[in-house]
């Protein structure tokens, strides 16, 4: 069972990708798919089986409204990062550079607080 | 599964006889003496011990490859043999070349990427497919599929799977299924995000980042999946120092051509071609035209074959 980013599933199905335009290159289609996979991994590790059910396999394209609730023990800011990374529209996801900076800042600040 | 060849024991010498170095930096590394060439010397002088890798009671077999554990003078590596299967072709030589070239794209992508969170390819070579063929399940040989005589082998570091880390993780954080704290998850995401950032900057997409956890069968509690029915294998590994490493670039895609040009999507091709044909028939797109030409193609050149 493989679970892939919505834009890859759409691309494989021959559908238009993005909210209102067609990406002209393969890079536009695949550039943020790995980030989506990282966020899905985060959901799986933090939510457990409910996340596995929420993220379907190749048969169906995942929708934003189907997101499982993350446990309340995690901070709202951290949960928001995961939420924006699994958005179905890649154009509405942050870049890898942005995620790198956010995680770096979070790790540094949590070190300071400890 | 047929077991015609004993895959445990000494690696067949024919593997060495048929070896061709596919290192993309061969000209450079042969003069400098990089790790790939050092390993090549070792493999030619010392016999390799190939043992079938078994983890959690299952064999490490993906959809495209079979992994063996090998020893080279005490050091442990993973030998990944790409499944040598292909469709029947009228031109076997050309099809074989295409197959090898497609297999080569995996380790080429991995060699381009030099990052601490991306598994390093130590060596890659072509060789007889006899080592891999006996381990391919019989249901892979559907009608029209034939085995190739040679296949691509990739040697990488042998690393523990990310699953093993999760299994050892104690449930210190009672509300989280795997006892992962926010800080642990931030560190995991930080390492993966840096690796993905590096891949994006090199125009490579992995396309298959996953971890073989959370099987929903059985008790319903999160557990690592060891069932053959849930063919979810780890593509994340752990170095001895605890760093997460991304491996298995079998599904990776290069997002630009070797000369740096962007690759258009198939959808793009279809729509440009269709809109060109339609606008040629209609004369010119008007306000009622439902076919939209992508922004990058504002001017329409009449294709030669349509004149």
Give the per-residue pLDDT at B82: 77
User: Would the CB atoms of B214 and A26 count as touching at under 8 Å?
Assistant: no
Task: Verify that B287 and B161 share a domain, yes or no.
Answer: no
CA distance B263 to chain A (A): 5
Determine the structural domain holding residue B183 and report its residue range.
9-254
**Together in a domain, B291 and B244:** no
**Sequence-ordered list of residues with C-beta below 8 angstroms from that of B262, at least 6 positions apart, any chain:** A24, A25, A26, A27, B255, B256
Three-state SS for B288? coil
Contact A42 B185 (CB under 8 A): yes
* CB within 8 Å: B185 and A34: no
Query: Nearest chain A Cα to B255, which residue?
Result: A27
- In the DSSP assignment, the letter for residue B264 is B
Confidence category of residue B195, pLDDT binned at 50, 70, 90: very high
* Rounded Cα–Cα distance for residues B21 and A88 (Å): 42
| Complex ipTM value | 0.85
pLDDT digits (tens, 9 = 90+) for B2-39: 333 333 334 444 344 434 444 444 444 444 444 444 44
Angle at CA A22, nearest 5°, toward A17 and A25? 95
Give Dmax (Cα) for chain B.
73
Q: Are residues B236 and B181 in the same domain?
A: yes
Asked, for residue B144, whether it belongs to a domain, the answer is yes
Judgement on whether residues B160 and B64 belong to the same structural domain of the protein: yes
From A66's Cα to the closest Cα of chain B, the distance in A is 18
To the nearest whole angstrom, how far is the Cα of A74 from the nearest Cα of chain B?
6
- Over the stretch B159-193, which tens digit does the pLDDT of each residue have? 776 766 666 664 444 556 667 788 888 888 889 99
CB pairs under 8 A between A and B: 165
User: A58 touching B, CB under 8 A?
Assistant: no
- Give a yes or no: residue B3 inside a domain: no
pTM for this predicted structure: 0.69
Q: Of A8, A11, A38, which is closest to B196 when you measure between CB atoms?
A: A38
- B1 part of a folded domain: no
Q: Decide if B176 touches A, using CB distance below 8 A.
A: yes
Q: Which residue has the higher pLDDT, A29 or B289?
A: A29
For all residues of chain B together, what is the average pLDDT? 60
* B175–chain A Cβ distance below 8 A for any pair: yes
Cβ–Cβ < 8 Å for B87, B144: yes
Q: How far apart are CA B188 and CA A46, in angstroms?
A: 12
Both B147 and B204 in a single domain?
yes
Whether residue B4 lies inside any domain: the answer is: no
Is residue B183 a part of any domain in this protein? yes
pLDDT (tens digit per residue) in A6-48: 777 777 766 665 555 555 567 767 788 889 888 888 888 887 7
DSSP string, B78-136: EEEEEP-EEE--S-HHHHHHHHHHHHHHHHHHHHH---TTBPPEEEEEEEEGGGTGGGS
Whether A54 and chain B come into contact, CB under 8 Å, resolves to no
Q: Are residues B170 and B224 in the same domain?
A: yes
* Choice between B56 and A86, residue whose per-residue pLDDT is larger: A86
Examine the domain organization and report whether B53 and B189 are in the same domain. Answer: yes
Mean pLDDT confidence for B87-116: 66
**Overall domain count for chain B:** 2
For range B223-251, the mean pLDDT: 66
């Amino acid at each position: 069972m493989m679970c892939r980013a919505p834009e890859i599933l759409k691309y494989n199905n021959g559908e238009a990708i993005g909210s209102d335009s067609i990406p002209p290159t393969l890079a536009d289609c695949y550039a943020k798919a790995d980030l989506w996979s990282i966020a899905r991994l985060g959901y799986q590790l933090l939510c457990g089986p409910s996340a596995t059910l929420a993220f379907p396999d190749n048969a169906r394209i995942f929708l934003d409204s189907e997101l499982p609730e993350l446990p309340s023990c995690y901070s709202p800011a951290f949960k928001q990062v995961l939420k924006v990374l699994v958005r179905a529209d890649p154009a509405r996801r942050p870049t890898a550079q942005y995620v790198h900076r956010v995680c770096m800042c979070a790790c540094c600040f949590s070190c300071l607080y400890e | 599964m047929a077991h015609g060849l004993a895959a445990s024991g000494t690696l067949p010498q024919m593997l060495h006889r048929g070896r061709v170095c596919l290192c993309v930096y061969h000209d450079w590394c042969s003069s400098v003496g990089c790790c790939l060439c050092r390993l090549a010397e070792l493999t030619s002088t010392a016999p390799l011990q190939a043992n079938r890798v078994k983890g959690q009671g299952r064999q490490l077999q993906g959809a495209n490859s079979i992994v063996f554990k090998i020893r080279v003078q005490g050091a442990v590596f993973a030998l990944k043999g790409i499944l040598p299967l292909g469709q029947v072709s009228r031109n076997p030589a050309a099809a074989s070349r295409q197959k090898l070239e497609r297999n080569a794209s995996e380790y080429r992508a991995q060699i381009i990427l030099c990052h601490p969170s991306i598994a390093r390819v130590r060596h890659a070579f072509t060789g007889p497919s006899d080592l891999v063929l006996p381990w391919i399940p019989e249901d892979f040989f559907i009608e029209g599929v034939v085995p190739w005589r040679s296949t691509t082998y990739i040697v990488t570091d042998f690393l523990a799977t990310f699953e093993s880390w999760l299994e050892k993780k104690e449930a210190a954080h009672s509300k989280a299924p795997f006892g992962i704290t926010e800080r642990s998850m931030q560190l995991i995401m930080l390492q993966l995000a840096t690796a993905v950032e590096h891949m994006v900057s090199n125009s490579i997409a992995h396309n298959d980042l996953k971890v073989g956890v959370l099987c929903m069968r059985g008790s319903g509690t999160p557990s690592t999946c060891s069932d053959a029915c849930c063919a979810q294998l780890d593509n994340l590994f752990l170095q001895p120092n605890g760093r997460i490493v991304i491996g298995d670039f079998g599904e990776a895609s290069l997002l630009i051509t070797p000369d740096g040009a962007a690759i258009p999507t198939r959808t793009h091709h279809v729509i440009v071609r269709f809109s060109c044909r339609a606008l040629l028939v209609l004369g010119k797109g008007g306000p009622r035209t439902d076919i939209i030409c992508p922004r990058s193609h504002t001017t329409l050149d009449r294709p030669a074959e349509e004149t």
